[in-house]
Structure 1
Amino acid sequence: MKKYKFILIAFFFAIVLNLIIQHVDNKYTYNDIEAIYGIVDYTDSSQMHFLIHDWEVYQDQLLTSEDIKNKQGQLTQYVDVGEFGGFEFYSQNQKAHGQATYRIRIYDQPQKVVAMQLPEIFSAYKLYINGQLYTQSGIVEKENYTPEILNTMVTFTTQECNEIIIQVSDYDHYYSGMIYPIAYGSQRQISIYQTIQTLIKGLQSFLPLVMAIVCIVSYWKTGYAKRDGYFACICLSYLGYILYAIVHLLINSQSFLWYRLEDISYYLLIYFVALLLLQQCHYKISRIYSFVGLFVLIATLFLPSLWISYNQDMIYGLSYMGQLYKGLFSFLMIFIIFRNVEENMDSSLKYLIMIIILFVVSINMDSIFWYEPIYLGWGSEIAGFVLSVYFSIIMVSEKIQFYQQNKILSENKKQMKDYIFDVAHDLKAPAASLYGYVELLNSGIAKKQNKEEYLLSQIAQKVQILSKRIALLQTLDIEKSLILNKNLFSLTKMIESLEQRYQILLQDKQLEIKIIGQDIELYADQEKISICLENILLNAIEHAYSNSAIVFELLEDALSYQIQITNHGKIISKEDMNHIFERGYTSHQNEHSGLGLAICQKIIQAHVGEITVQSLHDITTFIIVFIKK
């Protein structure tokens, strides 16, 4: 139960956050004066209002102020804006498409300049204020019906009683009539309101746009890494989901294309978030299956929407199918989260899971409550933006780390030439010893003194030292060391190969090698990584207690691969710990070149990785970290 604690906390936090947002930033919970039977009194109020409650509705009638005064129309009912998605209102038999007239009367101080912000009204309308036609969007008459999306602001000078009449027609959109509340206030209040909305939408669009470009470039540069590809797809889907608001704020359109793109982008956003979660939890999904899922979504949700005009059943069918997809993907993500949670989970994956929980909760709570945001946007929009912020932090931190590693490499490049001279100097000692031992054998002195076996063992030891130092010299060729010949290989197989190579040394000290963790397929220079692990293994063999184990532990998280090599034996002193990776430094002056661990560090840094060591209580552990790209 303990490992699920942070998940439960994340769900609780996500629900509470959505409830707070839907209460604080909601036009329907805004502290406002409510209309009663089509009349509202703002005479003593100076704040901005939302015209929501008790509009008079004349169903299937397009009426003017004169028509109503002459009692040519028949009042159908009073409705709250947004209470229904179409013209069906309270009637089960009424179709959602058709036409209607909305009317409200506002009492206010006379000779006062006020403004109204009209969000999208679906899908053609005429606005009358005090009997005068103020603005028109499309053509409302059925015989010449022409839809046009218009998000606009109008200003007028008030009378004591101000009559607002809106004639609306819709025959092809999945919303009909007035869905979004109209804002009413001074011209300054409405202008500030619109400006804040535009700035927030601009910010919500700008960061994902930048991140989409960065992730696409990173995806291409890193050999098509899936994570970066999903990052880019999520950002692009999010852009398609929220850009419609800016498009209709700035551009009048007779096309519903942006609404279609908004819908499919919303479901693609959910789809790619689910794929990212699967990928980060180490589920292998081929590109073919990913594209098949993408095709199914587009084929079932987007393409039919281009031909559903005037078909109400098709509109409802697509709506139900979208809800089904959302439910399935929400269940899948929650299932994956609970199945793969671990107590020692990597922090970056934990943060991603918390954000995805916020996303899942938000997309489902958006449709539970009566909610229309004032400034911030829907919960799903906020959660999508938080995802893009998370991507930004991950990408920026990786680039900073990459820059720092490159800076270190460029500084170390200047020193690498010196290593060649150091190794060449170190070769002289074992070479001279070999020459002396061979001379003794040839002279016959060793045979007379019965020291032939001793000399042969010394020769074998010096040959081993000489071979090792020659291998080090080969790895220090400047031109070759800067070129990494990368390929995909198994770390487990590499460690098993090293174990077989040094089986005699291991048996001499009765040591065994243990491999813990799942195999890692590493994309790196196999030869250089083998040299690095070989150096560390030889050090471990030399310093390990007899009858003990040398443990290779393989770990993987969302951002890195990790190799930990642990042996039980004499620890490294504090003085040596401070210099262990410095070239030429050794605590064994006669046997070691002082280059092995320095070369290991250069190899790991060339792979944009890091090597560190911990030595305490007879346990020494070398930790190698490779950053995922």
Structure 2
Amino acid sequence: MRAAWKQLLGLLLAAALGSALCLALNRWDNKYTRPGAQPLEGLLVLSEEELDRTDVHFLIRGWAFYPGVLLTPEELAAHGSEHYMVYTSVGQRTRFDREGENDPHGCGTYVLELRLPERAAEYALELPEIYSAYRLYLNGRLALQMGDPETYRPLTQNRMAGFTGSGRVTVMLAVSDRSHFYSGLVYPPAFGSPLALNLIRGERLGLAVCVSLCGLLGAALAFYLGLRMRHKNAVLFALLSLTAALFTAYPLLHSGLALPPQPWYALEIFGAYLMVALVVLLQNRMCRTDRWLSRLSVWAGGAFALLALGYGLCSAHLSVTAMRAFSALAVCFKAGAALYLLAVSLDAARRRVPHTDSLPYVAVFYGTLLVWDRLLPDFEPVVTGWFFEWGGLVMILAIGYTLWRDVVSAYADNLTFAEEHRQMKRQLAMQAEYASQMAERSAENRKLIHDFRQHLRAITEMAFRIESRPETAELKRELLRYLEEFPQVIPRGAGVSPGCFCNHASVDALLQYYHAAALRQGIRARLAFRLPDGIPLSDVEWCSVLGNLLENAMEACQRLAEGAGTISISVRPMRGTFFLLVENSYDGHYDRQGGRFRSRKTGAVRYGIGLESVRETVTRCGGTLDIYPLETVFRVGITLPVREGPGASGPAPK
């Protein structure tokens, strides 16, 4: 019960943080709430005090709008009163459709009069993407043109027009659209000094560059780890990061290039909804969702992303009804995705799926931002991003964090598996070496038995002759001489088992293997010792510890001149304590960082796995590992507690 209340409190805290973020952005990074005078009925009066107090004004309200006509300054002056005009706010009219019509496209002219101080000064007007072709007139002069609104050659770009102005300045935009799902002036232009506008523009583009670069780097790292470790989730996260990087790069694209609306805006909205589908896919995999539910949700997300792509590509042929239907469907899709992510993550938390404990809180945070996106429709960021973009960023970071934990865990498992595989190969090599020695001894025994039979025949024949002729003294002397020479005929050491190095069979086999390997490489080795009873290490653990230490010692000796290497093991059993010391000669070079020794294997960049494995085993059993690198001798000492009981101390076996 306490865990449930704790989780509920965390979910409420996530919702509170999401709400605080939205309210903060709405207050301090919103064009619609930024302080400053606003136009009224087509007129904006800006005094020097107002310009000093507010360096940038976003021109939102009070635009005079002439629907259905493309006016020039001359036509406006001569026949402006003859055309229908309405005052409108930017963002209020996102299509050129008229009441009772179902065609979202058309044309229109926006007019705004500025009253500036009489002293001439440098000003700038930043125009965001205007859909989809327009001409900008300042005081009756053509200042900027994108595409051709009359013959309709669509082009969009985030542009800035500078001018020297004083007194009365008329801003006039003649806009035409027949290909985009938005029409005309959708985002508020910004007016102010060139320096102030360039600062805001630079902050916005700089943030986009940072986010896009981080996304690309994350995608490259995830793709590398995914291929190297064969981790499918990492490859999918690389695709998600790449999609996010390209999506957040659209301010750079629209600021640097003049492009037609299609297919670029279709790809933009496709990328936005593809991110949602990839988030659903990754969360399904990490939360181990039911296979059929996972497939259904991923297919739904992918289908809606393709629908968004088709919506963008076919926007020139859509009706107002179709556009409204898609907008409503998009809202339902986002809400459904947020609820699904929350349900899946809560179910994973209930089933205690590893590394998914943070996902429910992120899903609540994401859903909270989507709710505020509907509650605060008059929000357009000055520098940062939309609520939907913030939610997607937090969701991607959370999935990346969860995936990173999973990758680190998998990497640790791979290292453990590699170490176990290495030890198994060593055990097999030990067994092969031991079997080879036993086969050699067996062959010697067979030869000895064969030769011994011949000797017995000779002795039997001599004894038979002596028995048949007891008076033959010469035969007796020959038999005695033969028996005296008989021990020299048998080879020394033949017919016995290999020398014993330890009183534990498995440890003895390990020492036999390394002793034979040392002899083959001209390394002097003294490896015999005796293990007392009561040591907390099992034979398997002893083989792992000694195998790693002897392997490192062999590698160190191989770097020396032939015949210069030595390896020795010595023990000091005391009451309640057992001390084992492994010494080997080395070249005096080692790499230690923070108390840990780095591997010197060719191409190795990680800490030595062998020593760390030994340290972990010894520490787990209540012992200590001490390393003493001297000038020419490398020492590793192991101190272990010995349980009270009958010991088996004594001299080391020969």
- Tell me which residue corresponds to 1:86: 95
* 1:580–1:586 contact (8 Å) kept in structure 2: no
Gaps of 5+ in 1: 432-461, 483-573, 594-629
* 1:15–1:361 contact (8 Å) kept in structure 2: yes
Q: Quick one: distance in 2 between partners of 1:470 and 1:277?
A: 40
From 232, 237, 246, the counterpart of 1:240: 246
Report the secondary structure of 2:202's partner residue.
helix
- Tell me which residue corresponds to 1:585: 640
* 1:308–1:314 contact (8 Å) kept in structure 2: no
- Tell me which residue corresponds to 2:116: 108
In structure 2, give the amino acid aligned to 1:156. F
Q: Quick one: distance in 1 between partners of 2:188 and 2:370?
A: 22
1:425 aligns with 2:480: no
Q: Quick one: distance in 2 between partners of 1:156 and 1:217?
A: 50
TM-score norm. by structure 1 comes to: 0.64
* 2:123–2:193 contact (8 Å) kept in structure 1: yes
Task: Kindly provide the CA deviation profile for residues 406-442 of structure 1, in whole angstroms up to 9, marking residues without a partner as x.
Answer: 79x99xx99x999x99x952427999xxxxxxxxxxx
Assess, with a 3 A threshold, how the Cα gap between structure 1 residues 6 and 430 changes in structure 2: closer, same or farther: closer
- Tell me which residue corresponds to 1:134: 143
Task: Kindly provide the CA deviation profile for residues 579-621 of structure 1, in whole angstroms up to 9, marking residues without a partner as x.
Answer: 499967352488899xxxxxxxxxxxxxxxxxxxxxxxxxxxx
Assess, with a 3 A threshold, how the Cα gap between structure 1 residues 591 and 137 changes in structure 2: closer, same or farther: farther
* 1:208–1:388 contact (8 Å) kept in structure 2: no
Assess, with a 3 A threshold, how the Cα gap between structure 1 residues 204 and 117 changes in structure 2: closer, same or farther: same
Report the secondary structure of 1:350's partner residue.
coil
Assess, with a 3 A threshold, how the Cα gap between structure 1 residues 575 and 254 changes in structure 2: closer, same or farther: closer
From 36, 46, 60, the counterpart of 2:40: 36
- Quote how far apart the aligned CAs of 1:224 are: 3.1
Q: Quick one: distance in 2 between partners of 1:299 and 1:14?
A: 29
Q: Quick one: distance in 1 between partners of 2:426 and 2:41?
A: 89
Assess, with a 3 A threshold, how the Cα gap between structure 1 residues 267 and 244 changes in structure 2: closer, same or farther: same
Matches within 5 A, 1:502-517: none
Report the secondary structure of 1:300's partner residue.
helix
- Tell me which residue corresponds to 1:441: none
- Quote how far apart the aligned CAs of 1:330 are: 1.9
- Tell me which residue corresponds to 1:273: 279
1:383 aligns with 2:391: yes
Assess, with a 3 A threshold, how the Cα gap between structure 1 residues 256 and 470 changes in structure 2: closer, same or farther: closer
From 139, 143, 164, the counterpart of 2:171: 164
In structure 2, give the amino acid aligned to 1:296. A
- Tell me which residue corresponds to 1:261: 267
Task: Kindly provide the CA deviation profile for residues 159-215 of structure 1, in whole angstroms up to 9, marking residues without a partner as x.
Answer: 201100000111121100101011111111111111111001111211111111111
- Quote how far apart the aligned CAs of 1:88 are: 3.5
In structure 1, give the amino acid aligned to 2:389. E
Q: Quick one: distance in 1 between partners of 2:620 and 2:305?
A: 64
- Quote how far apart the aligned CAs of 1:157 are: 0.8
- Tell me which residue corresponds to 1:195: 202
- Quote how far apart the aligned CAs of 1:340 are: 4.4
- Tell me which residue corresponds to 2:83: 74
1:331 aligns with 2:339: yes
- Quote how far apart the aligned CAs of 1:399 are: 8.0
Q: Quick one: distance in 1 between partners of 2:121 and 2:60?
A: 22
- Tell me which residue corresponds to 1:117: 126
Identical aligned residues as a percent = 21
- Tell me which residue corresponds to 1:185: 192
* 2:26–2:379 contact (8 Å) kept in structure 1: yes
* 1:201–1:242 contact (8 Å) kept in structure 2: yes
- Tell me which residue corresponds to 2:602: none
- Quote how far apart the aligned CAs of 1:33 are: 0.4
Q: Quick one: distance in 2 between partners of 1:575 and 1:132?
A: 83
In structure 2, give the amino acid aligned to 1:167. A
- Tell me which residue corresponds to 2:485: none
Report the secondary structure of 1:81's partner residue.
coil
- Tell me which residue corresponds to 1:217: 224
Assess, with a 3 A threshold, how the Cα gap between structure 1 residues 591 and 51 changes in structure 2: closer, same or farther: farther
- Quote how far apart the aligned CAs of 1:476 are: 7.1
Task: Kindly provide the CA deviation profile for residues 290-346 of structure 1, in whole angstroms up to 9, marking residues without a partner as x.
Answer: 874465234423135323423224444433333332232122123334444459897
Q: Quick one: distance in 2 between partners of 1:94 and 1:429?
A: 87
* 1:119–1:180 contact (8 Å) kept in structure 2: yes
- Tell me which residue corresponds to 1:309: 316
Q: Quick one: distance in 2 between partners of 1:109 and 1:307?
A: 47
Q: Quick one: distance in 2 between partners of 1:592 and 1:292?
A: 68
Task: Kindly provide the CA deviation profile for residues 42-63 of structure 1, in whole angstroms up to 9, marking residues without a partner as x.
Answer: 1222211111111000111111
In structure 2, give the amino acid aligned to 1:56. A
TM-score norm. by structure 2 comes to: 0.62
More displaced 10-residue stretch of structure 1: 581-590 or 198-207:
581-590
* 2:125–2:191 contact (8 Å) kept in structure 1: yes
Q: Quick one: distance in 1 between partners of 2:25 and 2:93?
A: 22
Q: Quick one: distance in 2 between partners of 1:316 and 1:243?
A: 27
Assess, with a 3 A threshold, how the Cα gap between structure 1 residues 158 and 428 changes in structure 2: closer, same or farther: closer
In structure 1, give the amino acid aligned to 2:141. Q
- Quote how far apart the aligned CAs of 1:245 are: 1.7
Assess, with a 3 A threshold, how the Cα gap between structure 1 residues 580 and 588 changes in structure 2: closer, same or farther: farther
More displaced 10-residue stretch of structure 1: 284-293 or 9-18:
284-293
Q: Quick one: distance in 1 between partners of 2:74 and 2:506?
A: 112
Question: Cα RMSD between the aligned structures?
Answer: 4.3
- Quote how far apart the aligned CAs of 1:220 are: 1.7
Assess, with a 3 A threshold, how the Cα gap between structure 1 residues 591 and 42 changes in structure 2: closer, same or farther: farther
* 2:149–2:176 contact (8 Å) kept in structure 1: yes
From 229, 241, 257, the counterpart of 2:235: 229
Report the secondary structure of 2:640's partner residue.
coil
1:297 aligns with 2:309: no
In structure 2, give the amino acid aligned to 1:130. N
From 6, 13, 16, the counterpart of 2:10: 6
Q: Quick one: distance in 2 between partners of 1:146 and 1:262?
A: 21
Task: Kindly provide the CA deviation profile for residues 542-601 of structure 1, in whole angstroms up to 9, marking residues without a partner as x.
Answer: xxxxxxxxxxxxxxxxxxxxxxxxxxxxxxxx99634499967352488899xxxxxxxx
Report the secondary structure of 2:249's partner residue.
helix
- Quote how far apart the aligned CAs of 1:478 are: 6.7
Assess, with a 3 A threshold, how the Cα gap between structure 1 residues 210 and 387 changes in structure 2: closer, same or farther: farther
Matches within 5 A, 1:339-418: 339-341=347-349, 349-369=356-376, 370-390=378-398
Assess, with a 3 A threshold, how the Cα gap between structure 1 residues 335 and 473 changes in structure 2: closer, same or farther: closer
Report the secondary structure of 1:585's partner residue.
strand
- Quote how far apart the aligned CAs of 1:380 are: 2.2
Q: Quick one: distance in 1 between partners of 2:426 and 2:79?
A: 99
Larger radius of gyration: 2
- Quote how far apart the aligned CAs of 1:86 are: 1.3
In structure 1, give the amino acid aligned to 2:308. L
In structure 2, give the amino acid aligned to 1:587. V
* 2:276–2:301 contact (8 Å) kept in structure 1: no
In structure 1, give the amino acid aligned to 2:43. I
From 329, 334, 348, the counterpart of 1:321: 329
